[in-house]
Amino acid sequence: MSLCVLGVESSCDETAVAVVRRGDDGAVEVLSSVIHSQVVKHAVYGGVVPEIAARSHVETIDDLARLALAEAAEKGVGVDAIDAVAATAGPGLIGGVMVGLSFAKGFALSRGLPLIGVNHLEGHALSVRLTHDVPFPFLLLLVSGGHCQLLHVRGVGDYERLGTTIDDAAGEAFDKIAKTLGLGYPGGPALEAEAAKGDAARFTLPRALLGRKDCDFSYSGLKTAAAKIAMEQVKTPQDRADLCASVQAAIARQLVERSARAMRAFKAEHGGDSPAFVVAGGVAANKTVRSELSALAQKEGFEFVAPPLAYCTDNAAMIALAGLERFALMRAAADYDGDKQVHDGLSALARPRWPLDERRALSAPIHKFSGRKGAKA
């Protein structure tokens, strides 16, 4: 069944709109994918300012949607061919999420189209299927500025959390250590560039949660140790490069250790030859991280798969695909009612927190006293 979906993403500091089509043969085609980055606006502050991000989304989303629709039309797919609208409904900076979701609701209402509120993390989880025919189930390492999780992906909407960060995400550690070293924003790519000139064995950094045998992550201790070394021992450009290399190696090492445990658990449940190990999220763009995880996958008998770099960071094509996958399941259901789906979609709420595995987030929350907002993603 051929389907075409308009996707909208605005959960952080990128405004993005895309049109994605899946043909009768199941092949996925990204007809357009446009992104407006706010890096310049936030660089002076050394990080994302939520109010500035939300205002920028408001200012740019109309033009980006026009551009995305025009690019799709140039490939022979006009606005009348769009079957549904998908938009990030969370988790993320609530002001930005509200902008994108409100725009998507208005577009869907004006054209009488179904609207699907998409979990931003599900977009990352399925992003590899934009370019690779990866069957379910597969093992996923979702590693970005705000998230660090190992997930058993059984199917669309069916996710089991195997491990998550108990404090900071790997991407957050990259960014904040880079800020401590004065490398500017965004910190992750800047730290990676410095690390290429350094000696990863120069500084000894702590290894978190060594006594535990689960798949959880922790990077707050690494951040503290790196900040202490930066203040006391970094005096020259070479010192800084060596610390960057040591930090990058420490982050990659923990990702490898936890992923190895998850691989063994996945193999014990499913067996099989060369199951897929998918790495998604912004940190997946780091060459050292990719190289070490790829080597691990080969060692453990997994096929290493990662989306192209353009789909590792936040984008609307992954949101459109997640919406398309969900919409296809809706249309296949015996009790599908198109009008009802439009109504339910328009009532979707923007959510600052939205775990993929809600059952486990409630039964085994990482942050037990998280207030009225509920368990963290």
Q: Is the dihedral of CA 37, 39, 40, 45 positive or negative?
A: positive
Q: Which helix (H) or strand (E) holds 322?
A: helix 316-332
Residues contacting 95, CB < 8 A, separation 6+: 50, 51, 53, 54, 57
Does 78 belong to an annotated binding site? Answer: no
30 appears as a binding residue in the annotation: no
Please state, in angstroms and rounded to a whole number, the distance separating the CA atoms of residues 30 and 22: 9
Tell whether residue 152 is among the known ligand binding residues: no
Short-list 84, 68, 80, 61, CA closest to 31: 68
192 annotated ligand-binding residue: yes
Chain-centre distance of CA 350, in angstroms?
Answer: 17
CA distances from 259 to 164, 295, 322 (A): 11, 12, 24
101 marked among binding-site residues: no
Q: Which amino acid is at 348?
A: A
What whole-number distance in Å separates Cα of residue 375 and Cα of residue 354? 8
Structure-block tokens of residue 293:
């995880």
120 marked as part of a ligand binding site = yes
Say whether 83 counts as a known binding-site residue.
Answer: no
Residue 175 marked as a ligand binder: yes
Known binding residue 314? Answer is yes
Going by the annotation, the residues of the binding site are 120, 124, 142-146, 175, 188, 192, 286, 314
Going by the annotation, the residues of the binding site for Fe cation are 120, 124, 314
Going by the annotation, the residues of the binding site for substrate are 142-146, 175, 188, 192, 286
